Chains A and B, each alone.
Chain A
């Protein structure tokens, strides 16, 4: 099996540009949320300031009515803060939800436009991780951690600004522990990501182990593997525990540093402030109280901000992988191929990635409207021929053309009217039976769909309680391998292309019904070119032509009788097949 080639990842600039675009698309909401948050933070900071005023006022001989006036004012500020916070958060949510929706819909559009070859090469794992995990992490960044970090930052800025406004000298003292915050924060950011990633990976291993044990429960039972699978689960749990302790080791220095950085300025402000006050400096005792209380107020925001930094980084990395998908461009430029030639492979040389050649100057011409069967041992390059004709891969040398145009250059809309490839891997979408079929022909009505199902012998479909509306796939009605294959073939009938490539497409159908399906498929595809690839020989005898592929070359070609008479590779295969001792 070939190694998968990962999809690209966007660089920092592209990620920032994409964030910028999301903000620009909804800049009013974004701006309004920002202003509301700032105002709310300012209203919240009014509280300690007014405490200072009261303390100093008492020293200056305030009356009850002075205190009451200020008391009303404070309460009013708090109510204002409540309203501002509520609407600020609401707008931030709206912005985040809209941006997340934009992002995932745009991403899905990109995914649905990925080139065929890229999809094949990337494998489904990478793409699935991006469409599920990464999209969720980026959405979380936009609607949760983003606003939280922003709020924490704004609060911290407002607290510092307020302290300065109250008394610049005392305000400056709040910075005594900034170096601690800075260095601790920087070190944490540097070491935290791999530590958290290692923990996540260990948790993933545990999940994979337990999921595999469940998926293979019958095998575990059959081979009595219970104890060893249990042992494997316990082993991954032990590794996970170690990784968790790695997080704890890191937090063991980080948290006390943060705590200390928050508490230390309180003592400094009080000591220095009091000395200053006693020496007759430009400071009141109320201001000392205010600034020390402001310092305490920093606690939840510094902690919250530092804790969300991690999620922030993760969201950024997810965004880079999401944007990476949009960097894959399509290299198809031919809108149509009008020629009458049909499929032609001419002196084709091909190999995967940097690997050795798999096809060595192979030529093949099925002939328009004819039925060609390609046979040969496993690994001879039969499926590679299918991929080349279907335009998934591009030859290293030579040409693969459909009606005169290279199939790898034809735009997909045009290509799929010409060629459809059906493999032995049949995917059933978690959707209604109708949606599963109509993707091949959006104009088809129920009668067309029912006819296509009948043609491939899918009698089970008529017995469904909800007919074409029956949900299949996923947690709904599970299709057997045979049923899924029939569904795939029904799609081909609906798509009605000029060339159909069947790569082991009927491999899992019962021998009793496989013949019927083949026959009805042949009837449905009458007048179309059919290229059937098989390592077994069911269909060979009735084909217009047979090509035997061996080691990336056409070993021989001709009709069944011609090839038997020639006594070459095909005749050997045929004897083996018929069970005549080789």
Chain B
């Protein structure tokens, strides 16, 4: 995967190379048609003024009409080819982003924010792929320029030279302005992001602002950022308005100057009036095209920025080592805390004064983070990760993707799906979606309540039937009778396998085969509830409301 922006761009262009070349060739043909127009007009005017009849001009009139038809057709043909090339490139970037996420998603997660991900897959993708188009148009303009200078040269070598040098000077004049403009644009975009971020923040926390207060404080802060954006916009306007003035006037100044030179030649009888018209026509078309060239230059700069951002996305790596190969056997052990989870040990309840420490320990023995944790005698990092994932499942704040309820549950068949829902006391998820396994669960489970989401996640974990189910967050958002049903259902459904739940609820403890007590981030004791309940400290931790 290319890590430099230029490599990235080549990598986007390469698969579309044939299409791209064909499009460019057609555009070059089109530039010849466009640039012939002044020459044809000149021939008509000269033959009309000289012969005082339309007869000799007739072939030129036909040619003119042919250009009127052929020009647009050539344009749209080339345009279509380049558009398809660009679209294919955009699709390909998304495909490769998908592939990359498939391989190292967890690595991307810690490096790329959600907002960034949206930008990468929409704006940056479009800007980078747009290069195919910009290069095509660039070729068109370069061809038109070369052709125009050549035609002028044929009329009078000095006029051709003057036009060529003039256009070059205008280009060098615009360069620095463009650079300054780019800097201002970057500043403007950064400030826009700040203002947009603040607005999103206000919308997101609006119920707090309206419920508790702080409207004027946040309004003031927003107004300050907004005014700063306005002033940044003024500065951008100063640079951009010069560019607009220059690109809209300097080429015409050149056209005027060259036409003037041609007129002097005509007065001296060296050029015909038709040729003067042609000189003017070439210059005016070139002036029109120069505006496009400036646009291409701007987009090129943006494309490079986007390509750089894309290449750093593709440079993200998997945070976990991937070389392991063996298959684990025996207990999962976390040496850091002393947590040992035996194979087939039924329901273990972890009681902890600090929930985060217990969650981190489960993450280590589930190989979500790299550590010295072992499976039997072997370190997890030396084992085949796919096998670990198949046999050990960590249930935490898992994500619910937008898919059908059946797809969300990932069960072998409908019977198993419904059983998992029942065990997790999540029948209401099923009924609230119209008792239909094909009903769609929204992205992040947005069409479910917090409690429903939690029980659906549990149902999904149960349906996966892992040998080890490590539940960091199982029933924190459900009421007591439901929790009692879940504890009973889970302990029965997973008899003979291994289940670990972090909870201090008596409803889980009464169902447990074994209890592990975390204190100060380490395992302090393990045993049955009855054994541990002899310790008064443990009783305080687990007895509720006195």
CA distance A264 to B91 in the complex (A): 38
* Residue of A with least CB distance to B51: A278
CB distance from A115 to the nearest CB of B (A): 8
Tell me if A440 and B214 are in contact (CB < 8 A): yes
User: CB of B504 within 8 A of chain A?
Assistant: yes
Tell me if B219 and A93 are in contact (CB < 8 A): no
Give the segment of B130-138, B243-251, B301-309, B491-499 that binds chain A: B243-251
Residues of B within 8 A of A236 (CB): 94
Residues of B within 8 A of A360 (CB): none
* Residue of B with least CB distance to A77: B256
Residues of B within 8 A of A217 (CB): 101, 105-106, 108-109
* Residue of B with least CB distance to A125: B446
* Residue of B with least CB distance to A123: B446
* A91-135 near B? 1/0 per residue, CB < 8 Å: 001101110110011001101111010011000100110111001
CA distance A63 to B269 in the complex (A): 11
User: CB of B178 within 8 A of chain A?
Assistant: no
CB distance from A223 to the nearest CB of B (A): 7
The 5 closest A-B pairs by CB, nearest first: A439-B214, A216-B399, A93-B237, A233-B98, A579-B506
Total A-B contacts with CB atoms under 8 angstroms apart: 493
CA distance A230 to B95 in the complex (A): 8
CA distance A237 to B87 in the complex (A): 10
Residues of A within 8 A of B88 (CB): 241
Residues of B within 8 A of A474 (CB): 197, 201
Residues of B within 8 A of A111 (CB): 202-203, 206
Tell me if B480 and A535 are in contact (CB < 8 A): yes
Tell me if B256 and A89 are in contact (CB < 8 A): no
CA distance A541 to B235 in the complex (A): 65
User: CB of A577 within 8 A of chain B?
Assistant: yes
* Residue of A with least CB distance to B68: A263
Give the segment of A51-59, A162-170, A342-350, A361-369 that binds chain B: A51-59
CA distance A381 to B295 in the complex (A): 60
User: CB of B233 within 8 A of chain A?
Assistant: yes
Contact of A256 among B75, B97, B285 (CB under 8 A): B75
Given contact pairs A112-B219, A119-B207, A255 touches B68 in the complex (Cβ within 8 A): no
Tell me if A51 and B480 are in contact (CB < 8 A): no
CA distance A116 to B509 in the complex (A): 42
Q: Could you jot down 19 A-B contacts, CB within 8 Å?
A: A59-B49, A89-B237, A89-B245, A93-B240, A94-B237, A97-B230, A212-B402, A212-B443, A212-B444, A220-B101, A237-B91, A245-B87, A277-B48, A296-B285, A439-B214, A441-B213, A536-B544, A576-B507, A579-B509
Tell me if A248 and B83 are in contact (CB < 8 A): yes
Given contact pairs A390-B211, A439-B209, A510-B355, A89 touches B244 in the complex (Cβ within 8 A): yes
CA distance A480 to B48 in the complex (A): 85
* Residue of A with least CB distance to B48: A274
Majority DSSP secondary structure for residues of B touching A: helix
Known: A256-B73, A292-B41, A378-B482. 6 other contacts (CB 8 A): A47-B255, A78-B253, A214-B101, A233-B95, A297-B288, A420-B211
User: CB of B281 within 8 A of chain A?
Assistant: yes
Contact of B105 among A82, A98, A214, A270 (CB under 8 A): A214
Tell me if A85 and B230 are in contact (CB < 8 A): no
* Residue of B with least CB distance to A475: B113
Residues of B within 8 A of A120 (CB): 207
CB distance from B247 to the nearest CB of A (A): 9
* A305-321 near B? 1/0 per residue, CB < 8 Å: 00000000000000000
Contact of B94 among A59, A71, A210, A288 (CB under 8 A): A210
Tell me if A131 and B389 are in contact (CB < 8 A): no
Residues of A within 8 A of B298 (CB): none
* B246-272 near A? 1/0 per residue, CB < 8 Å: 101110110111011001101110000
Contact of B252 among A44, A68, A256, A438 (CB under 8 A): A44
Residues of B within 8 A of A492 (CB): 212
CB distance from B237 to the nearest CB of A (A): 3
Residues of B within 8 A of A75 (CB): 253, 256-257, 260
Tell me if B97 and A210 are in contact (CB < 8 A): yes
CA distance A55 to B211 in the complex (A): 77
Tell me if A512 and B354 are in contact (CB < 8 A): yes
CB distance from B228 to the nearest CB of A (A): 10
Tell me if B541 and A259 are in contact (CB < 8 A): no
User: CB of A25 within 8 A of chain B?
Assistant: no
Residues of A within 8 A of B432 (CB): 1
Residues of A within 8 A of B268 (CB): 64
CA distance A292 to B278 in the complex (A): 12
Tell me if B259 and A51 are in contact (CB < 8 A): yes
CA distance A98 to B259 in the complex (A): 42
Residues of B within 8 A of A376 (CB): 479
